[in-house]
């Protein structure tokens, strides 16, 4: 009996990385059902019930193995989430090797697809004599910056001392200040964090291809630069297959609560506020948002997480404390007819796709950005960490489908409630709101075309699958 033709996929910890991996896998086997996928999943602990529900609902030709948990006590404390994810995978390499050995005896292994933060597993591809790919969970412009960063580090690294210096990223029609780049470059050049990020960027050149979760109409120039090979002469092939987003929630209880509330609201009247799967804001900013929402008079659904001075404090480890106790006194009572506050988590896809939702105050994580674009929801950009500032600038200055909430003082990072009222009114009221809505609707239509039978992203997926199957 002929062995199954299998692709091994290694995501890294973090819901924002695992879910797009899963959705990419589902898309791939939907169009090429002769392929079999196996997810080999490094973890810091038992997966959450929501993650297990997603994994247990995978189609028959996708299976998964939860690798033995890494003890968080074995890792250095207070790490940047990216470094945390990378080290989790590094500590999982013996388990990963064992899982691949087992797969190799029962299937015909075609390829190894890794998250960028799973890059330490790259030598395993050579060991098993299979091609390697990265699935890049951010956008094409961020990928372009990562590919160019080793050269920037070699030639003009002194510019990273001054965070206001200008950097031209290949494929961008606007320049960036250093302070708006991926936050890992802002550390001292001698630090382990900076060196680790530089190493990850260098490893992008050692794979057979990079699959990027974007599409031509959203990042045309960046994708052109990545694919033409004139800027990155020795770079890998790039396959833009997006937008790949989640398909919906598995938590019916919260879904029912949110949807029932939204069903009672007028069309396009509700502002949705969420800082991703783990982003946190300071207590000062939490209070300013509360006062701003109340003063704006607009309807809202607010996914509330307990405040923290570290924006990424909840990215890999959830919070236990009750976030509602941090709200201003009397806020819930005064706004009970105006809004809905949901502790910690809400069914984002269902909220963004609902006809009553008219705006999204977002941290500009790439998954949330794509979800907002697909569902035609204008954004208020409030970036926190990682590449989110780059995303925010593209959304506001290039695509013009978002407005930026400006901080009152760079050193404090506080956005005053008057500013929050201002940006809410821009995207929810009047002529400018209509123009932004029209632009994001056009982008949403283009996303639909990219994923159609003959669209650019599905063509890229077919080319990729053809390479897999002709090995």
Beta-strand pair 4-10/36-41: parallel
Select which of 17, 36, 84, 298 is catalytic.
17
Select which of 91, 115, 120, 180 is catalytic.
115
d(CA 180, CA 301) in angstroms, rounded, equals 28
Where does 115-179 show beta strands of DSSP type E?
A: 132-136, 166-167, 176-177
Task: Give kind and range of the element (H or E) at residue 209.
Answer: strand 209-212
Indicate if the alpha-carbon torsion angle 102, 27, 316, 321 is positive or negative. Answer: negative
Q: Which among 156, 70, 8 is positioned nearest to 148, based on CA atoms? A: 156
Answer yes or no: are the C-beta atoms of 324 and 304 closer than 8 Å: yes
Phi-psi region of 352 (alpha: psi -120 to 50; beta: other; left: phi over 0): alpha
d(CA 435, CA 438) in angstroms, rounded, equals 5
Whether residue 162 lies in the annotated active site = no
Which ranges of 75-139 does DSSP label H, i.e. alpha helix? 81-91, 93-106, 122-127
d(CA 18, CA 39) in angstroms, rounded, equals 10
Beta-strand pair 166-167/176-177: antiparallel
Whether residue 30 lies in the annotated active site = no
Q: Which residues are catalytic?
A: 17, 115
């Amino acid at each position: 009996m002929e062995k199954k033709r299998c692709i091994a996929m290694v995501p890294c910890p973090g819901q924002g990385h695992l879910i797009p991996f899963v959705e990419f896998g589902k898309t791939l086997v939907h169009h090429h059902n002769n392929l079999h996928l196996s997810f080999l999943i490094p973890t810091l602990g038992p997966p959450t019930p929501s993650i297990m529900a997603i994994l247990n609902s995978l189609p028959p030709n996708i299976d998964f193995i939860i690798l033995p948990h890494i003890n968080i006590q074995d890792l250095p404390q207070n790490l940047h989430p990216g470094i945390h994810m990378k080290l989790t995978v590094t500590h999982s390499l013996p388990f990963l090797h064992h899982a691949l050995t087992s797969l190799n005896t029962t299937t015909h292994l075609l390829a190894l697809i890794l998250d960028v933060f799973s890059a330490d597993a790259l030598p395993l591809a050579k060991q098993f004599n299979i091609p390697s790919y990265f699935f890049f969970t951010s956008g094409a412009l961020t990928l372009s910056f990562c590919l160019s960063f080793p050269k920037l580090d070699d030639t003009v690294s002194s510019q990273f001392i001054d965070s206001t210096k200008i950097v031209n990223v290949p494929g961008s029609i606007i320049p960036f200040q250093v302070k708006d780049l991926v936050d890992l470059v802002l550390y001292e050049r001698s630090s382990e964090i900076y060196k680790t990020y530089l190493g990850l960027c260098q490893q992008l050149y050692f794979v057979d291809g990079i699959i990027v979760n974007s599409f031509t109409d959203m990042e045309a120039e960046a994708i052109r630069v990545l694919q033409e090979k004139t800027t990155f002469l020795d770079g890998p092939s790039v396959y833009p297959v997006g937008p790949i987003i989640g398909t919906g929630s598995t938590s019916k209880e919260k879904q029912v609560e949110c949807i029932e509330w939204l069903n009672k609201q007028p069309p396009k009247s509700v502002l949705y506020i969420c800082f991703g799967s783990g982003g946190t804001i300071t207590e000062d900013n939490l209070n300013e948002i509360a006062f701003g929402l109340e003063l704006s008079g607009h309807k809202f659904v607010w996914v509330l997480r307990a405040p923290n001075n570290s924006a990424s404090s909840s990215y890999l480890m959830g919070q236990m404390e009750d976030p509602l106790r941090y709200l201003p006194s009397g806020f819930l009572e005064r706004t009970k007819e105006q809004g809905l506050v949901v502790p910690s988590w809400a069914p984002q896809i269902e909220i963004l796709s609902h006809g009553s939702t008219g705006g999204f105050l977002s941290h500009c994580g790439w998954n949330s950005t794509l979800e907002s674009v697909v569902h035609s929801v204008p954004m208020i950009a409030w970036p926190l960490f990682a590449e989110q500032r780059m995303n925010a600038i593209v959304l506001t200055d290039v695509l013009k489908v978002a407005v930026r909430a400006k901080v009152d003082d760079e050193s404090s990072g506080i956005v005053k409630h008057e500013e929050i009222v201002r940006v809410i009114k821009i995207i929810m009221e009047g002529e400018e709101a209509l123009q932004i809505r029209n632009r994001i609707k056009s982008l949403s239509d283009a996303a639909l075309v990219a994923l159609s039978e003959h669209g650019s992203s599905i063509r890229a997926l077919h080319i990729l699958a053809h390479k897999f199957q002709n090995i």
